[in-house]
Amino acid sequence: MGKYNAFLYDEVGNAYTRKNLYLHEIAQNQSALKSVTGADREKAISALRNLIRNKKNHPYNVDFLTYKREERNFLTTLNAKVKTLASNLDASMDPKLRKLHLDLIRSNEKKSFYKPYVALTYDAELEYEKHHIISMQLPEIIEKYAQTKKELVEARIKLKEINPEEERTFHKNLKQFIVGQRALYLKNKSKLKEKRKQKIISEKALRNGIIELKKKKKDLINTKKYTSEKKSTQELINNKKYVLTKGIRREIKVLKSNIADSRRKIPVEVTKTQPIYSRFTFVLPGLGQLLNKQYLKAMLFALGSAFVYFIAIPYALGYGNYQGDGIMGLVTLAEFGLKIDKSLIYMIEGIVAIFLIIIAFIILLLSYLDVRNVERKVIKGIRPRNAFETLLGVEQDGFPYLVSLPALLVTVFIVLVPITTAILLSFTGMDPKHQSKFGWVGIDNYKLIATGSGLAGSVFWSILWWTLIWTAVATTLAIAVGFLLAIIANNERIKGKTFFRVVYLLPWAVPAFITIMFFSIMFSPDGALTTLMTNIFGTRILIKNDAVLTRTVLIGLQTWLGSSYVFLLSTGVLQAIPGDLYEAAQIDGATEFQKLKRITIPMVLFQTAPLLVGQYTFNFNNFSIIYLFNGGGPFNPSKYGNLAGSSDLLISYIFKLTMENQYQAIGAAISIIISMGLMLFAFIGFKNSKAFKEERL
């Protein structure tokens, strides 16, 4: 037999003595066994066994069975009794009002029945308290509903009896009143303007006065409109309709809330001591909730069961797949499939199947944990939440989860599935010769990259070093130039700040691809800048044909493009720095450089450091500037082969590998390496920024 506690507890932790005297005696005997030994212990064990053996004859159990029998008889005859009492109600009564009256009659009957049994069981006490609350609050709701309904009927009759001729006269007078108010408004407005001309009042006082005159005119016209008998009666009807719908619904919600408060304070007693339902209902979400009498939860988790057994598992077994074979498709990759079957589709459908199974398992786990948690609370004495309490809990605590759930599902299928596909693809042999059918090759692709061998991996390290140099130099220069320009434009001694700020923002305002294409044309063999440099230096300088010059121009171009964003960020922060800091530093004898070092730079970095870290990660994958300026050239087949050019970054290299040369597997491997490196860099950068440490992100 399980261990019983002599006390029950509510959600807050308040203790209640058991009303079930039989279980209370068992709990006391079990507690006594812990403190006795020898003959006394044997005696206590014998007493406990006799108590359990004579369970049916225990006085409390006899009284309780009598109560349950009388309760069944009462509930059986209740409907007939209520029907008899309801015959005294007006047959023409509003259906909703009639239902409220019947609920009140039923509650009064239950209140009378359960009152003598309050001391016997907490269930009877709850029923008594519940129907006591209903009998106290429902009459007011009924009276309010009946009175409002009566007033609504009277208002509708009054609306029909309104004389149309009187309404026409009213609208005619209203138009005259509106014209008069407009004339009065214009007259008073002119007086204010005259006072402004005479400089009696300020411009701000003039604006405020005009606003006040408009408000006064609008209020007077609206007040006049509501003197119309038709309009005021219609408003009264709308008000009464609102009370009969939302108002009464709100009153009933308050009633249910009060009942829920009683449920929280009155414990429940059960004979079980272990969570049983959660163990054998794990595989069928909804059944445990049904056994716990939580019917709303049962319906929701039943939908989860339908998803598990009619969608997730069949799909994972291959049913409903487009071409694949569910999870097994990940193993075979269409090796034994038809000629039209593609390994990539098998892989994607296998990944989708895995995520569906994961979601199914989460549903099973959530159901199990929910049932077990409810059972444990019930054993402790806490009542399961009913439908009203569940919905109220969702409104108060569960709203963020409900809002986030669709985003989570979308994230799974448009983010996690593609990422997982890329990761698994990097362990396959998908290349130009194996597009339709390919198999698993393990870490061969990563070996090629690490050793720099093979057609695709041989140039990886060369491109990586250039990518790192590009990222560090171009981004750092852009940040430095943007910050320097912001300091210059923010200096009080600079004239024409607006003009300079507009000029500095142009690279950010103009679409980047236009700027890149413009400079690409200017640096072409016959471009204006190439011609200009030829005339200046007396020799033909072909920027796009020289790797060093191309890289230099690309760094300079990115410095120009990226500086505007940093300028914008820095300008906002600089304008927000209190002037008192600089004044205090000036009094202390600080030089301009010391102010810059001790005040300006720390303040700017504190606010912008996380965004500046993002600039480095952005430039690492800056595909557009490389592709648009020179297509990754100039090309040197002896060093880079036919897969990359001298100015290609890893991102453009991956594009050429996958889109132009069909080396998808090794391209995926390089993508994974890049992603891991960037995530590590971003994490270190954010973690070491002061804003991150102080949780100001």
Q: Is the pLDDT of residue 356 over 90?
A: yes
Model pLDDT for residues 175-201, shown as the tens digit of each residue: 998 999 999 989 998 988 888 888 888
**288 vs 406 pLDDT, higher one:** 288
pLDDT of residue 157 exceeding 80, the answer is: yes
Distance of alpha carbon 185 from alpha carbon 213, whole angstroms: 6
Q: What is the mean pLDDT of residues 257-277?
A: 90
What pLDDT is stored for residue 595 in this prediction? Answer: 75
**Has residue 7 got a pLDDT over 80?**
yes
Q: Is the pTM of this model over 0.85?
A: no
Lowest mean pLDDT among 61-65, 375-379, 448-452: 448-452
For residue 99, pLDDT beyond 50: yes
In this structure, the dihedral spanned by the alpha carbons of residues 387, 391, 394 and 395, taken in order and rounded to 10 degrees, is -160
Quickly list DSSP for 324-362.
-BTBHHHHHTTTTS-TT--HHHHHHHHHHHHHHHHHHHH
Average pLDDT of the residues in 463-469: 93
Residue type, 332: T
Q: What is the pLDDT of residues 399-415, one digit of tens each?
A: 777 778 888 888 888 89
Closest CA relative to residue 692, chosen from 570, 585, 608, 579? 608
Q: How high is the pLDDT of residue 498?
A: 75
563-594 pLDDT tens trace? 888 888 888 777 777 777 777 877 777 777 77
The secondary structure of the chain in percent helix, strand, coil, rounded to multiples of 5, reads 75, 0, 25
Buried b (16+ CB within 10 A) or exposed e, 661-674: bebbbbbbbbbbbb
pLDDT higher than threshold 50 for residue 696? no
Q: For 514-569, what is each residue's pLDDT tens digit?
A: 889 999 999 888 888 888 888 888 888 888 888 999 999 999 999 999 888 888 88
**The pLDDT value given to residue 693:** 53
pLDDT tens digit sequence for 377-394: 999 999 998 888 888 887
Using the predicted structure, report yes or no on whether residue 596 has a pLDDT greater than 70.
Answer: yes
- Residue 677: pLDDT over 50: yes
What residue ranges in 33-140 does DSSP mark as E strands?
A: none
pLDDT by residue (tens digit) across 43-59? 878 888 888 888 888 99
What pLDDT does residue 430 have?
92
The reported pLDDT for the residue numbered 694 is 55
| Token pair listed for 89 | 């109600």
> Which pLDDT value is given to residue 690?
58
Averaged pLDDT of the chain:
87
As a whole number, mean pLDDT of residues 434-446 equals: 91
What single DSSP character describes residue 383? P
Instruction: Give the pLDDT score at 697.
Output: 42
User: What residues contact 631, with CB distance under 8 A and at least 6 apart?
Assistant: 645
pLDDT of residue 376: 92
For range 31-39, the mean pLDDT: 76
Mean pLDDT in residue range 476-480: 92
Q: Work out the pLDDT band at 360, boundaries 50, 70, 90.
A: very high
What mean pLDDT do residues 350-358 have?
95
Contact 432, 338 (CB under 8 A): no
Please report the pLDDT score of residue 639 as a whole number. Answer: 82
Q: What are the Cα distances from residue 270, in Å, to 44, 128, 297?
A: 24, 19, 21
Indicate the pLDDT class of residue 365, thresholds 50, 70 and 90.
very high
